[in-house]
Amino acid sequence: MALSCARTVGAFLGKCGNCGSAVSSQLSRKVPIRPLSCSSSLLRKNLAAAGPEKFTAEFIEKQVEEFNIGKRHLANMMGEDPENFCQEDVDRSIAYLFPSGLFEKKAQPLMKHPDEIFPRQRAVQWGADGRPFHFLFYTGKQSYYSLMHETYEKIQNLEKHQDRLRAKGLFSQDTKRISLGTSRWLTKDEVDVLLVETISAHDYNRFIQLMERLLSIPYCAGEEEFVLRYRRQLEAQSRKQMVPPLERDDRGVAFSTAEGRRKTSTSSVVLRDCGAGRVTVNGRDYLDFFSVLQDREQLMFPLQFTGTLGRFDLECSVSGGGRSGQAGALRLAVSRALLSFLSEGDVETMRQAGLLTPDPRLRERKKPGQEGARKKFTWKKR
Amino acid sequence: MALHRLSFRLRQTVTHVRSLHTSGCGQQLEAVAVESDPEPFSVFRTQENNPEFQSEKHLGQYYTLPSAHISTVFPHGLPWRYQQQVKTFNEACMMVRQPALEVISYLKKADYSKPAHRYIFYGLRGSGKTMSLCHTVHFCHTQGWLVLHVPDAFLWVKNCKELLPSSFNTARFDQPLQAAEWLRDFKITNEQFLLKIKTKQRYVWTKREFTEEGSLLGQLVDQGISRVKSSSDVVGAVIKELRLQSGQPESNFKLAVAVDGVNALWGRSTIKKEDRSAVEPEELTLVYNLRKLMNNDWTGGAIISTVCQTGSLFISKSAYLPQELLGETGFDNMDPFIPVSVPNYSEKEFESCYLYYMDRNWLQHPQSLTEEGKKELVFMTNRNPTMMERLCSSL
């Protein structure tokens, strides 16, 4: 299937002038390009033995060239300026030209710079005479050890600087330290990718220890850039809840609107501060709409939790899904709408009670060969 | 509240000349003060067990139905769940509510030389229509009226086990079992009248059996009970006799016709003939005769009924207004009638109900005895009497 996709894309772009796009080669990189006269058994054996694909530097260069030419062709096709055709435009154009109904992003057609597609590989480490370039080549992990050496050199330099200052009497403990902020060390896999070679867990731990030692020295502010290269920023977890604004209608009654979703139902709720305790769902009485006690309990939960049972008027509308999904969607919407009437502490308690968390559970797909999502057919011993 | 306003509007279009009971509906329920009532025990009970003397002072309060009355007046008249409750609590307490009180006041003031008034209780599901009907029936009984109570007209149009072609009119169908059961209940309720009223016509049942003119109504009824095959015709005869005699000056009784689920008479039925075609309600003898009684061409009594969606056939669940439930023909037949809306409990009534259950130790859950618990109950049931009862039974 990948091949057919590659062929169409390649043929399509090839029509515009022999560019042999990077797409086709990218899609076909998992299957070696061989003459068709080979038998499939040979193919299978060779795949197992080869290991990860090795690409030569020239091959990568050729791919980069083809990618750029392909980009220009694509820009021409889309009627845009080839000079200012950036990667987002490329993605947009590909999504337009090859609309895919697949859900898996990795299975959809893509056209990216070869550096992002082909993993970084080490160039040949030795010259024509067979002599390696790097002095640590025979350790086996040359980039790792060179990194460790570099870090240790920096530590030594800093300590020498410290001694000099102490000698002069200008040493002080409270110097500007490196501000790490909300960041974490690179994980072992990320270090592997950076160094283009595999290191063991032990090596990784030693590396981290060394970096921590570097950070513990006062006067390490000079090496900030070096250290931050090996740290990754954490995504800022938004602690702030989105509180819907409190509006006032003509009669001066405060109200707020919020939406909620659960499973396949969506709902929207207008919470009015009237003091009546009337609830309408889709224009009907909620006793009529939710005949099951459980659904009404779900609707009641946020109000009961905050102790505001008889205070608000609810005007709800809900669509989609079944009765339980609709009840859950309404509960979430009511909790969100309530936020604008509550204090910070109450918001926190509501969050901890789980009233503000959208429930991510969806219906699990039925798999072939099974009765349902999990249920299997009757097991027969023979 | 909307239901009350609706009833106001409907009432204005009714062209009856009568004095409207001006105590209004619903607005002053909260304003009614419970002072100087003779009961020292509780706020929610009243000692006034005679519906004749109950007034707005007793709104929202429970009065006790004497057990002797229950067995006579309501052999099968009360709703099933209420009967269970009576058995559990060992007492039959009914709440005095506005709709029933209103109809009772109309009955007190009506002129019985004019054609009979038709009252219809309507409301949402579980709001207390049947109970209001029973309250009114109890009042009629205490006043010494002859009560013709059909507990559920829907029983006559569905699940019929035996369907016989009528001997009287071959186009119609008889339901001997239902008719016999109804006659039995009728006998129990109106024992004293059956010994006084005399028939005005001669009825021939079979070649050998006939009822002479001038015989007691009791005899007629016994005939129907013993000869089950002709019981439907007996019902028809009874209805005819009562209709003819009720307005006459020499008869000293007033006739109260109480039908629960009167929209059954004009709806559809699920009974099928042998060739699988549906039976229309007017092809059933019982329904046909009852319909004749529903017309207001007789004097000296009143017709009190409810329209009900719960047992109804082929009606959507959200329909509760009389027009929707009666249909075109039904509405034309019953028009003009006095619609009385039965709403959910008001705050005072809900409070009263809650206190009653607490008094009877029915609410066992500790949370339900607190203030928050009460608010939760209000929310969960939306002050609907049936929902409240069902919810409290599991607490």
Start-end of H helices in chain A: 2-15, 22-27, 40-50, 57-78, 87-97, 114-117, 142-168, 188-195, 201-216, 224-228, 286-289, 293-306, 323-338, 344-353
Contact assessment for residue A300 and residue B379, using Cβ atoms and an 8 Å cutoff: yes
User: How many whole angstroms separate alpha carbon B95 and alpha carbon B65?
Assistant: 10
Contact assessment for residue B341 and residue B322, using Cβ atoms and an 8 Å cutoff: no
Phi and psi at residue B94, to the nearest 5°: -120, 145
Q: What is the pLDDT of residues B284-331, one digit of tens each?
A: 888 888 888 888 788 888 888 888 888 777 888 878 888 888 888 888
Q: What is the pLDDT of residues B96-138, one digit of tens each?
A: 888 888 888 888 888 888 888 888 888 888 888 888 888 888 8
What is residue B10's predicted lDDT score, i.e. its pLDDT? 44
Contact assessment for residue A64 and residue A114, using Cβ atoms and an 8 Å cutoff: yes
Residue A21 banded pLDDT, cuts 50, 70, 90:
very low
Q: Measured between beta carbons, which residues in chain A are less than 8 angstroms from residue B388?
A: none
What DSSP letter does each residue of A154-194 carry, written as one string?
A: HHHHHHHHHHHHHHHT---S-PPPP---SEEEPPHHHHHHH
Better-scored residue on pLDDT, B383 or A65: A65
Contact assessment for residue B119 and residue B305, using Cβ atoms and an 8 Å cutoff: yes
User: How many whole angstroms separate alpha carbon A131 and alpha carbon A146?
Assistant: 18
What is residue A45's predicted lDDT score, i.e. its pLDDT? 61
How many CB atoms within 10 Å of residue A219?
16
Highest mean pLDDT among A180-189, A363-372, B215-224, B246-255: A363-372
What is residue A95's predicted lDDT score, i.e. its pLDDT? 92
For residue A363 the two structure tokens come to 């219906």
For A190, residues 6+ apart whose C-beta sits below 8 A from its C-beta are: A232
Residue A203 banded pLDDT, cuts 50, 70, 90:
very high
Does B19 score more than 80 pLDDT? Answer: no
Q: What is the pLDDT of residues A69-110, one digit of tens each?
A: 999 999 999 998 988 888 999 999 999 999 998 988 889 999
Q: What is the pLDDT of residues A215-252, one digit of tens each?
A: 888 888 888 888 888 888 877 666 677 888 888 888 88
Contact assessment for residue B382 and residue B345, using Cβ atoms and an 8 Å cutoff: no
Q: What kind and span of H or E run contains A317?
A: strand A313-319
Contact assessment for residue A318 and residue A326, using Cβ atoms and an 8 Å cutoff: yes
User: How do strand B210-211 and strand B255-260 relate by DSSP bridges?
Assistant: unpaired
Question: Residue A293: which of B124, B380, B384 has the nearest Cβ?
Answer: B380
Of B355, B347, B342, the closest CA to residue B31 belongs to B347
Q: How far is CA B245 from the centre of its chain?
A: 22
Contact assessment for residue B138 and residue B51, using Cβ atoms and an 8 Å cutoff: yes
> Considering Cα of A73, then A75, then A76, then A78, what sign does the dihedral take?
positive
Could you tell me which residues are beta bridge partners of residue A323?
none
Q: What is the pLDDT of residues A211-224, one digit of tens each?
A: 999 988 888 888 88
User: How many whole angstroms separate alpha carbon B16 and alpha carbon B116?
Assistant: 11
What is residue A35's predicted lDDT score, i.e. its pLDDT? 56
Q: How far are the Cα atoms of A41, A138, A365 from residue A147, in angstroms, in the given order?
A: 44, 15, 48
Classified as helix, coil or strand, A226 is: helix
Whether B376 sits inside 8 A of A285 (CB atoms) is: no
Residue B9 banded pLDDT, cuts 50, 70, 90:
very low
User: How do strand B173-174 and strand B164-165 relate by DSSP bridges?
Assistant: antiparallel
What DSSP letter does each residue of A246-265 carry, written as one string?
A: -EE-TTS-EEEEEEEEETTE
Whether A296 sits inside 8 A of B124 (CB atoms) is: no
CB < 8 Å from B in window 242-301 of A: 277, 279, 284-288, 293, 296-297, 300
What is the overall mean pLDDT for chain A? 83
Q: Measured between beta carbons, which residues in chain B are less than 8 angstroms from residue A293?
A: 380, 391
What helix, strand, coil percent values describe chain B, rounded to 5?
A: 45, 15, 40
User: How many whole angstroms separate alpha carbon B231 and alpha carbon B238?
Assistant: 10
What is residue B235's predicted lDDT score, i.e. its pLDDT? 86
Average pLDDT (B21-27) is 39
Whether B375 sits inside 8 A of A279 (CB atoms) is: no
Average pLDDT (A350-369) is 90
What is residue A265's predicted lDDT score, i.e. its pLDDT? 93
Could you tell me which residues are beta bridge partners of residue B64?
B93
Residue A47 banded pLDDT, cuts 50, 70, 90:
low
Of B312, B293, B326, B329, the closest CA to residue B10 belongs to B326
Q: How far is A112 from chain B (nearest CA, A)?
A: 58
Mutation target among B321, B344, B380 for the A interface, most CBs of A within 10 A = B380
Q: How far is A287 from chain B (nearest CA, A)?
A: 7
Of B57, B50, B61, B60, the closest CA to residue B23 belongs to B57
Residue B52 banded pLDDT, cuts 50, 70, 90:
confident
Strand segments (E) across chain B: 62-65, 92-95, 117-122, 146-150, 164-165, 173-174, 203-204, 210-211, 255-260, 301-306, 338-341
Specify burial of residue B207 (Cβ count, 10 A radius: 0-12, 13-18, 19+): exposed
Q: What is the pLDDT of residues B263-286, one digit of tens each?
A: 888 888 888 888 888 888 888 888
User: How many whole angstroms separate alpha carbon A46 and alpha carbon A113?
Assistant: 28
Does B202 score more than 70 pLDDT? Answer: yes
User: How many whole angstroms separate alpha carbon A131 and alpha carbon A116?
Assistant: 31
> Considering Cα of B298, then B251, then B200, then B255, what sign does the dihedral take?
positive
Q: What is the pLDDT of residues A313-349, one digit of tens each?
A: 889 999 999 999 999 999 999 999 988 888 888 888 8
Q: Measured between beta carbons, which residues in chain A are less than 8 angstroms from residue B318?
A: 284, 288
Residue B36 banded pLDDT, cuts 50, 70, 90:
very low
User: How do strand A265-272 and strand A254-262 relate by DSSP bridges?
Assistant: antiparallel
Average pLDDT (A289-311) is 88
Average pLDDT (B157-179) is 80
Average pLDDT (B235-243) is 85
What is residue A107's predicted lDDT score, i.e. its pLDDT? 92
Phi and psi at residue B218, to the nearest 5°: -60, -40
Average pLDDT (B152-169) is 80
Whether B379 sits inside 8 A of A277 (CB atoms) is: yes
Specify burial of residue A368 (Cβ count, 10 A radius: 0-12, 13-18, 19+): exposed
For the entire predicted model, the pTM comes to 0.68
User: How many whole angstroms separate alpha carbon B69 and alpha carbon A265?
Assistant: 53
| CB hemisphere CA count around B180 (13 angstroms) | 11
What is the overall mean pLDDT for chain B? 80
What is residue A225's predicted lDDT score, i.e. its pLDDT? 87
What is residue B124's predicted lDDT score, i.e. its pLDDT? 87
Look at the block and give the residue holding tokens 């009562």. B242
Does A9 score more than 70 pLDDT? Answer: no
How many CB atoms within 10 Å of residue B37?
16
Contact assessment for residue B221 and residue B186, using Cβ atoms and an 8 Å cutoff: yes
First and final CA of chain A: distance in angstroms?
Answer: 36
Does A139 score more than 50 pLDDT? Answer: yes
Does A4 score more than 80 pLDDT? Answer: no
Question: Residue A287: which of B372, B376, B382 has the nearest Cβ?
Answer: B382
Does A50 score more than 80 pLDDT? Answer: no
Residue B53 is classified by DSSP as G
Does A124 score more than 90 pLDDT? Answer: no
Does A13 score more than 60 pLDDT? Answer: no
Residue A41 banded pLDDT, cuts 50, 70, 90:
low
Look at the block and give the residue holding tokens 């946020």. A302
